[in-house]
Amino acid sequence: MNDDRLSVLEQRLKDVEDRLEIMNLLASYGPLVDSGDADATAALWTENGEYDVPGLHMRSREDVRSMVRSASHRKLIESGSTHFIGPAHIAVDGDRAVAVCESVLVLRDGDSYRILLSGSHRITLARVEDEWKIRHRITRELNGDPHARELLSPTNIAES
């Protein structure tokens, strides 16, 4: 009977650890992309992971790396950028997980700061060789676009 209790505890604790590992991964995106580290940012995704943002659909780590190394991203971070991402709602189901959150992108602009955009995100993660990685992330601008709102809906929160 103690064996059963132990097994249940081990599984519950594993679930908790999964959730905390995913929270930590999500919290590292902003710092890494604002530090300009292309390799570390790309390593958050699976090898063929997708990152779909307005105007650009990346389909691999290599694509993410190129985005971080691009002249336009370098310009952002050299002016001063903050990819500020809020706490996510996370649903874990075995080796898959879905996280939903919002963000603001803040830019230095002369002597002040301004919000360049505010976004909704739906992020699908997978456990790959014992590590959580982003398999698919879609970002849309919260500018009234109904599709941006839809990413935040309970259906998207619940389904993996």
Which parts of this chain interact with a second copy (CB under 8 A)? 2-3, 5-6, 9-10, 12-13, 16-17, 19-20, 23-24, 26-28, 30-32, 34-37, 40, 77-90, 100-104, 106, 108, 112-118, 120, 141-145, 148-154, 157
Cα 55 to chain centroid, rounded: 18
Q: How far apart are CA 1 and CA 146, in angstroms?
A: 53
At position 140, the amino acid (one-letter code) is: R
Our CB check for a second copy shows the closer of 28 and 60 to be 28
Nearer to a second copy, 1 or 129 (CB): 1
46 vs 120 by CB, closer to a second copy: 120
Minimum CB separation of residue 95 from a second copy in Å reads 19
Smallest distance from the beta carbon of 85 to a second copy, in angstroms? 6
58, HSE (Cβ side, Cα atoms, 13 Å): 26
- Say which residues have a Cβ less than 8 Å from residue 96's Cβ, sequence separation at least 6: 124, 125, 126, 127, 160
